[in-house]
């Protein structure tokens, strides 16, 4: 039953907006912490003899990033080296850094090149 009775003209709009729930969806701080641990790989695309990896690494610069591709894996380490101008609440997290390691069981990378712009790391790899 809607706010104005059974013939509530806004009832369908509210149901659509809240996806058929009776009220707004809520989240807790536990959800935010959990989402930070989720996969950071945004995309992986394989075309013929090339593979593309795209990662989100906001808050870092190109000089803060190192990439190591070895047989069967790719590892990205981002650790903030220069903290001038960084807000204090972010400084500790960025200085601690992040490490992302992905196994590549069926991909053999011959060579690769990477770019980093506006928090997005793109790796283009030549594969066999």
| CATH topology (fold) of 39-127 | Immunoglobulin-like (2.60.40)
Per-residue model confidence as pLDDT tens digits over 2-46:
555 566 666 666 666 665 544 444 444 344 343 444 455 568 888
DSSP state of 11: H
Q: What is the phi/psi pair of residue 79, to 5°? A: -140, 120
Q: Give the pLDDT score at 70.
A: 85
CA nearest neighbour of 110 among 50, 54, 55, 43: 50
Q: What is the largest CA-CA distance in the chain?
A: 67
* Other CB atoms within 10 A of residue 56 CB: 11
Predicted TM-score (pTM) of the model is 0.64
Per-residue model confidence as pLDDT tens digits over 41-88:
568 888 888 989 999 988 899 999 999 998 888 899 999 888 888 888
pLDDT band at 103 (very low <50, low <70, confident <90, very high): confident
Structural domain spans, the chain: 1-37, 39-127
Torsion over CA: 17, 21, 25, 31 (sign):
negative
Rg (CA), the chain: 22
Q: Give the pLDDT score at 31.
A: 41
């Amino acid at each position: 039953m809607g706010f104005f009775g059974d013939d509530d003209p806004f009832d369908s709009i509210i149901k659509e907006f809240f996806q058929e729930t009776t009220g707004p969806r809520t989240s807790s701080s536990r959800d935010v912490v959990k989402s930070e641990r989720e996969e950071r790989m945004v995309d992986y695309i394989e075309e013929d003899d090339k593979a593309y990896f795209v990662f989100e690494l906001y808050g870092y610069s190109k000089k803060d990033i190192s990439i190591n591709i070895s047989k069967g894996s790719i590892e990205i380490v981002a650790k903030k080296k220069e903290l001038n101008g960084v807000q204090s609440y972010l400084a500790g997290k960025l200085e601690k850094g992040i490490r992302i390691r992905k196994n590549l069981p069926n991909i053999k990378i011959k060579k690769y090149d990477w770019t980093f712009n506006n928090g997005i790391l793109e790796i283009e790899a030549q594969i066999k």
